[in-house]
Structure 1
């Protein structure tokens, strides 16, 4: 008993020390071995935040092989003045009428693979591109380039590249299910319209910007921004009575970028043959979903 009475204060002290150490560990930030951290994460000086992790890939924003000073910081750019904004406001009955008319116009839009070689005035295409350029973009970076090709030889070179890759896609990459699902649309790797259409519009996203001083500028949400501009582009084409078919040629981007002499920061997103529909054009008799199938009021 005497021995126990002597040891009790010591045991209490040890217990207090153990509790204290556990408490301090619970408050300290988690760390991992130095080598493991460095292998998984870039050094702090090389790290640049990306606002859309779902779309991030290692070709978008990287300082590897370059200097951090190559990138412009937000506070280096001038602040924008804000101006009054008062668009025209319509009476509700006119709003309803306009909404119905615009829906009717856009509901006639179809993907058309039979395009007339009939010339289209260049000014019309210019205005359509300007319209696509009104799309919203992350931090107003306007991360798009629209390459408009009317040269016959260049169009043919584009067709050769696309058909070569598309044949591989259909025969090997896509799989039987994809090819089977496309069969009812009567589409294959032959893209005659790439030679026939008076214009080919190739839409490139700019993964980052390059300022006049040579510095790079982050383009946030660049793929979403360019996709929105493509939607407006399709509406502008429909508005003037021109047709197209949206194509995203798999594995053609790098070769087409080199053919068109585009810089490395530009990535092909979409290819659109544009013109009037051919006199004998046909389209699949597809039906669109009803409102209650695509809208959920809450």
Structure 2
């Protein structure tokens, strides 16, 4: 490695105020406990499935924050989504895309948007807005929403509920319908609730660990 001097904060960020730090709140666990927790979490998450059939059974608000519950608003979302998806399935979808969706059996009927008691919409802030209305660049916005999306999905499943990762195409109507500012872009729609009594999911095989995980030991 090329030897380089250790920079100070002001070397890299001249004129910027230095950030404040506080001690990390972290509980160190024994190897046995870590293995047990990892195995329990794996077994729990291995049973998570995306479902499109939801029960209208209510879910307490404290389990779902920042979500859409208004029935009329959910109806508007469904109507707009179905309108866009209808055109996608009947006019805009290339065969390669259709072949990728075929094993999932999806269509342009989006009952999950009105059946599920809650609908969570994840937005990405494409750029910031200064007090004078001018734009400021935001960095790593896709990564910044992808990480909490995964945590939210895991938390929903861990709480005993189910969700669907729905990506209407296009999604521009969501910002207008929900009154979001122009610098935000909808990334993901997630209905949340209890599964319907007759809910079914595609019979799919999960990828083997070796297909998604690689260990390079430097040997």
Report the TM-score, using the length of structure 2 for normalisation: 0.86
Please name the residue that 2:197 is paired with.
279
Shift of 1:158: 0.4
Counterpart for residue 26 of structure 1? none
Residue matched to 2:88: 169
| 1:224 Cα deviation after fit | 1.4
Q: Shift of residue 155 of structure 1?
A: 0.3
Write out per-residue CA displacement over residues 22-81 of structure 1, whole angstroms, 9 at most, x where no aligned residue: xxxxxxxxxxxxxxxxxxxxxxxxxxxxxxxxxxxxxxxxxxxxxxxxxxxx77864321
| CA–CA distance in structure 2, aligned partners of residues 159 and 88 of structure 1 | 44
Counterpart position of 1:228: 147
CA distance in 2, matches of 1:250, 1:190: 13
CA RMSD of aligned residues (A): 1.9
Out of 21, 24, 29, which is 1:85 matched to? 24
Count of residue pairs brought into register by the alignment: 204
Larger radius of gyration: 1
Offset at residue 90 of structure 1 (A): 0.7
| Aligned with 2:105 (options 174, 178, 186) | 186
Structure 1 unaligned residues grouped into runs of 5+? 1-73, 127-146
> 2:97 aligned with 1:158, yes or no?
no
Q: Which segment is superposed worse, 179-188 or 283-292?
A: 179-188
Whole-Å separation in 1 of the counterparts to 2:133 and 2:91: 42
Corresponding residue number in structure 1 for 2:9: none
Q: Provide the residue aligned with 1:100 in structure 2.
A: 39
1-side partners of 2:75 and 2:100: how far apart?
28
Match of 1:265 among 156, 161, 183: 183
What is the Cα deviation at residue 216 of structure 1? Answer: 4.5
Tell me the distance in 2 between the aligned counterparts of 1:76 and 1:156.
Answer: 51
Inter-partner Cα distance in structure 2 for 1:115 and 1:99: 29
Q: Which residue of 1 aligns with 2:3?
A: none
Name the SS of the counterpart of 1:267 in structure 2.
strand
1:180 CA displacement: 3.3
State how far apart, in whole Å, the 2-side matches of 1:271 and 1:191 are.
Answer: 12
Q: Which runs of 5+ in 2 are unaligned?
A: 1-12
Alignment of 1:1-298 (within 5 A): 78-126=17-65, 148-211=67-130, 216-253=135-172, 255-298=173-216
Mapped partners of 1:202, 1:240: distance in 2: 19
Tell me which protein shows more helix as a share of its residues. Answer: 1
Question: CA 1:175/1:251 → structure 2, altered by over 3 Å: closer, same or farther?
Answer: same
Change (3 A) 1:105 1:246: same
1:161–1:252: 8 Å Cα contact kept in structure 2? no
Could you tell me how far apart the structure 1 residues matched to 2:128 and 2:193 are?
31
Q: Using the alignment, how far apart are the partners of 1:113 and 1:274 within structure 2?
A: 10
* 8 A contact 1:210–1:217 mirrored in 2: yes
